[in-house]
Copies of this chain bind each other. A is one copy, B any other.
Amino acid sequence: MTPAMPESSQPGGSPKPVHEIERVAIRFVGDSGDGMQLTGTKFTESTALAGNDLSTLPDYPAEIRAPAGTLAGVSGFQIHFSSVDIRTPADKPDVLVAFNPAALRANIDDVKPQGMVIVNRDAFTKRNLERAGYDEDPLPALRERFQLVEIPIGTLNREAVKDLGLTQRQADRSKNFFALGLMYWLYNRPTTPTEEWIAKRFPDPIREANQRVLKAGYHFGETTELFPTSFLVPPAKIEPGRYRNITGNTALAWGIVAAGVQMQRPVFLGAYPITPASDVLHELARYRQFGVKTFQAEDEIAAISAAVGASYAGLLGCCTTSGPGMLLKQEALNLAVMTELPLVVVDIQRAGPSTGLPTKTEQADLLMVLYGRSSDSPIPIVAPATPGDCFHVMLEAFRIAVKYMTPVAVLSDGYLANSAEPWRIPEVETLLRHPAQLETDPEGFAPYRRDPATLARPWAVPGTPGLEHRIGGLEKEDVTGNVSYSPVNHARMTELRALKIAGIAQDIPPAEVRGPEAGKLLVVTWGGTHGAAASAVDQSHEAGFTASHLHLRHLNPFPANLGEVLGRFERILVPELNTGQLSRLLRAEYLVAAEPLCKVSGQPFKVREIRDRIEAILA
């Protein structure tokens, strides 16, 4: 099936000329109560169905609902879609749809010069301008810098629903659908899926109101003089297959469910709500039919302790949290290192330190996750590159955890968590299937007798006759697992714990370079910075500056060939959303002069920022 396109069955069918373009980025902004996230999500769905490649980025305020009309309450959603491969939500939107002055003020500086700015004229009252901190009406001045389109959305909306007997407040709630309908017309998107969704979701008369307003917006575009043309972004050439839209957090939750299925062990999630990780708990709580047990604990310590208990009892223990919760888990994580139990701990990083900027993104927990436990306590670390990759990374994390009997950390971030991309749904048959092996044989059993290949100890769980044994956080004697204070044994066990994790390097794919295999500049990335860096490398290349790109999914251990690969380049640039954490690791490990490109503003990289540095280096 080719994606649905606007047909004549769609309201109208545009008589105006259609302009074909390669890509566009739109940002919807308004008050938290204005439904911007919903508008964005629906537009994303339609765009996905239209077959474009896309990337989205929501931007929530930290307050639940700040006072209406204030800068603190501005909520936004950006979508970037294209007929070619794209990897980021775009540096600057081409189109801004602003529902009120505060939203305009907070976002206008991001819009591309001469971009389109659509405003809800009705919201530009004196009171609202004041609340937004404007001394005078900003619109006149904007007319020169942008294609300003002023629409009395509020009035048009009320008009559309006036005979439905709604209160004014109810009526006003549908006005985001006006903007949505208008954008559907402007970009030739199908309205049917949204109409159907409205029908399912809302009771009458709200359903009726929303559907009418959606159509009203669409017709308005068709009819008004304000828009001389509409635009069409043709479907992208993307790998064939079945697709869906997915956010990082949903993919992550599904990856956990999938791990349980593929390893044939029930999953146990211990979690305590924290932004931006809570949604994973919410999502997983819906899958009891998979045998998934979710436990909202009293705090992060109890959450991980229960998860370690679950792993000890033979389930796939897992935890999801963010930085301020992650550091509370280190003591129990250290116990899991000492008792060598499989466990996956996910840190969905946010901007800090301390409470910091809870709804903003950062990649600054790498060193904490690697080193934040007392004494030498090595664990593997894996990080997803894109929202969809969160699914696969979780499978990989559980594979390592169970195969090597070790806790594994996954580093996602606020940007990956909330942004969405079209995701090719994997065939379940192609996913790694490796049923977890529990020890059952008392013959020759010892709790710390290791598999010579992996150095993993057996997973011997309560309920198994003949394997009764005791473990704990005191240093263990090699093989027997008894408490041991022997100096030689402690040195040996420290070494074994290190060797076991280091050995995983042989069991992960070698580092692969995109672009020339050697040369002047290698850009090294990890986590959600992948997209911006890849685009920057590509765009620079087109502009005549050739750098290579290496993305690290495994951060501990590094791929076995990494040192050798780094050695082939004159300079190494590491863009990261922190003060230079991966760079420090590469420098220490390989003694290469890796240079960080740091950004610590709570926001993901813009392609331009990385590109500028690449081109400066290569100039």
Enumerate chain A interface residues (CB-CB to B < 8 A): 61-62, 72, 322-324, 326-328, 330-331, 334-335, 337-339, 349-357, 359-360, 362, 364-365, 367-368, 370-377, 472-475, 485, 487-488, 490-491, 494-495, 497-498, 578-579, 584-585, 587-589, 591, 593, 599-603
Given contacts A62-B485, A373-B368, A587-B591, contact A353 B327 (CB under 8 A): no
Compute how far the CA of A351 lies from the CA of B493 in the bound complex, rounded to whole angstroms.
12
| Chain B neighbourhood of A372, CB < 8 A | 327, 330, 368, 371-373
In whole Å, how far is A102's beta carbon from the nearest beta carbon of chain B? 14
- Complex contact A352–B377 (CB within 8 A): yes
| Chain B neighbourhood of A585, CB < 8 A | 588
In whole Å, how far is A448's beta carbon from the nearest beta carbon of chain B? 14
- Complex contact B353–A374 (CB within 8 A): yes
- Complex contact A494–B324 (CB within 8 A): no
- Complex contact B374–A600 (CB within 8 A): no
Given contacts A487-B603, A591-B587, A601-B491, contact A331 B327 (CB under 8 A): yes
Compute how far the CA of A600 lies from the CA of B493 in the bound complex, rounded to whole angstroms.
10
- Complex contact A351–B327 (CB within 8 A): no
| Chain B neighbourhood of A579, CB < 8 A | 376, 494, 498
Compute how far the CA of A591 lies from the CA of B587 in the bound complex, rounded to whole angstroms.
7
- Complex contact A354–B337 (CB within 8 A): yes
In whole Å, how far is A202's beta carbon from the nearest beta carbon of chain B? 33
In whole Å, how far is A372's beta carbon from the nearest beta carbon of chain B? 4
Compute how far the CA of A331 lies from the CA of B356 in the bound complex, rounded to whole angstroms.
12
- Complex contact A323–B356 (CB within 8 A): no
- What would 18 A/B residue contacts be, using CB atoms closer than 8 Å? A62-B474, A72-B485, A323-B374, A327-B330, A327-B372, A334-B353, A335-B354, A352-B374, A354-B473, A355-B472, A356-B474, A359-B485, A364-B375, A372-B373, A376-B579, A485-B602, A490-B602, A491-B600
Given contacts A352-B334, A491-B599, A600-B494, contact A365 B374 (CB under 8 A): yes
Contact of A600 among B365, B368, B376 (CB under 8 A): B376
Compute how far the CA of A359 lies from the CA of B357 in the bound complex, rounded to whole angstroms.
40
Contact of A353 among B337, B357, B599 (CB under 8 A): B337
- Complex contact B327–A490 (CB within 8 A): no
Tally of this chain's copies: 2
| Chain B neighbourhood of A331, CB < 8 A | 324, 327-328, 354
- Complex contact A353–B371 (CB within 8 A): no
| Chain B neighbourhood of A330, CB < 8 A | 327, 330, 372
Contact of A588 among B472, B473, B494, B588 (CB under 8 A): B588
Compute how far the CA of A516 lies from the CA of B164 in the bound complex, rounded to whole angstroms.
92
Q: Which residue of B lies closest to A578 (CB)?
A: B376
Compute how far the CA of A376 lies from the CA of B589 in the bound complex, rounded to whole angstroms.
21
Q: Which residue of B lies closest to A599 (CB)?
A: B491
Compute how far the CA of A589 lies from the CA of B335 in the bound complex, rounded to whole angstroms.
31
| Chain B neighbourhood of A373, CB < 8 A | 327, 352-353, 368, 372
Compute how far the CA of A330 lies from the CA of B62 in the bound complex, rounded to whole angstroms.
23
In whole Å, how far is A303's beta carbon from the nearest beta carbon of chain B? 15
- Complex contact B375–A362 (CB within 8 A): yes
Compute how far the CA of A350 lies from the CA of B588 in the bound complex, rounded to whole angstroms.
25
- Complex contact B490–A601 (CB within 8 A): yes
In whole Å, how far is A364's beta carbon from the nearest beta carbon of chain B? 4
In whole Å, how far is A92's beta carbon from the nearest beta carbon of chain B? 14
- Complex contact A367–B374 (CB within 8 A): no
- Complex contact B475–A374 (CB within 8 A): no
Compute how far the CA of A584 lies from the CA of B588 in the bound complex, rounded to whole angstroms.
5
| Chain B neighbourhood of A326, CB < 8 A | 374
In whole Å, how far is A193's beta carbon from the nearest beta carbon of chain B? 34
9 A-B pairs closest in CB distance: A352-B375, A323-B374, A355-B473, A487-B601, A372-B372, A354-B473, A367-B371, A353-B377, A338-B354
- Complex contact A364–B376 (CB within 8 A): yes
Known: A335-B355, A375-B578. 8 other contacts (CB 8 A): A326-B374, A338-B354, A352-B376, A357-B474, A360-B485, A368-B374, A485-B602, A487-B601
- Complex contact B374–A327 (CB within 8 A): yes
| Chain B neighbourhood of A591, CB < 8 A | 587, 591, 593
Contact of A375 among B335, B365, B498, B601 (CB under 8 A): B365
In whole Å, how far is A443's beta carbon from the nearest beta carbon of chain B? 28
In whole Å, how far is A177's beta carbon from the nearest beta carbon of chain B? 29
Compute how far the CA of A377 lies from the CA of B581 in the bound complex, rounded to whole angstroms.
12
In whole Å, how far is A150's beta carbon from the nearest beta carbon of chain B? 28
- Complex contact B355–A375 (CB within 8 A): no
| Chain B neighbourhood of A362, CB < 8 A | 375
In whole Å, how far is A278's beta carbon from the nearest beta carbon of chain B? 16
| Chain B neighbourhood of A600, CB < 8 A | 376, 490-491, 494-495
Compute how far the CA of A601 lies from the CA of B486 in the bound complex, rounded to whole angstroms.
8
Q: Which residue of B lies closest to A355 (CB)?
A: B473
Compute how far the CA of A278 lies from the CA of B553 in the bound complex, rounded to whole angstroms.
43
Compute how far the CA of A195 lies from the CA of B337 in the bound complex, rounded to whole angstroms.
51
| Chain B neighbourhood of A322, CB < 8 A | 374
Q: Which residue of B lies closest to A601 (CB)?
A: B487
Compute how far the CA of A589 lies from the CA of B591 in the bound complex, rounded to whole angstroms.
10
- Complex contact A368–B365 (CB within 8 A): no
